[in-house]
Amino acid sequence: MDRGWNWDNVSEPFWTEPSEDVYYLLNRWKEAGRERILDLGCGIGRHSLLFAANGFQVTAFDSSESGLRRLERIAAERRLTINTVHADLAKLPFDDGSFDAVLAYHEIYHVESSAMLAAVGELHRVLKPTAEVYLTLNSKSNPTYTDPRNRVVDGNVRMKREEDGSILPHFYCDLSDVYSLLSEFEIIKLRHIDDIYEDKSSWHYFVLATRS
């Protein structure tokens, strides 16, 4: 079942341009000799394409088939090899210790509470020992957490309408939630950032961690 965004309805250039954070990770992971990269929640592949163009072995994972189809077309046009996978975040179809690094940029929080715990556990499982993960977590400081238009599921989860018109669960954290979720990881860097888009506040945690 395709439970992700309908990327056929998304045209914002934001989703085609790599984030500035990811250029740092590309250099960091290349210097460390990390070759096998999982782009977890790749969307239409803005980061998968960047890593593949720089010589990484890239697996692009998403719960949306429409995004993966667009990525496959672009990769073929650019003659880049990217392995695309459509599956469930809470049950990753990869062997233990498959990856040197995982990028989960603005993706892993699109789940309910039980699936969030399962997804973080799966992240730990598919990473090699000492491998790194970079992930974005939704903050409870985000105004959408208290927006009355979003249905409350539990203390962490709200149902929110996305840009493509779909209504998806969003898992929100405070700092104690972050440390609890990542208790099996060693946190290298943790930032709490408010990004302003068209005068709208959007708070997230950005975490670089290693598999302990």
Give residue limits of the domains in the chain: 7-211
Separation CA 190–CA 83 (nearest Å): 30
Q: Which residues contact 92 (CB under 8 A, 6 or more apart)?
A: 61, 122, 123, 125, 126
Predicted confidence (pLDDT) per residue in 176-197, tens digit: 999 999 999 999 999 999 999 8
Q: How many other CB atoms are there within 10 angstroms of residue 188's CB atom?
A: 12
pTM score, whole prediction: 0.91
CATH says 7-211 is which class?
A: alpha beta
Q: What's the confidence (pLDDT) of residue 7? A: 58
Separation CA 65–CA 47 (nearest Å): 17
What are the residue ranges in the chain where pLDDT is below 50? 1-2
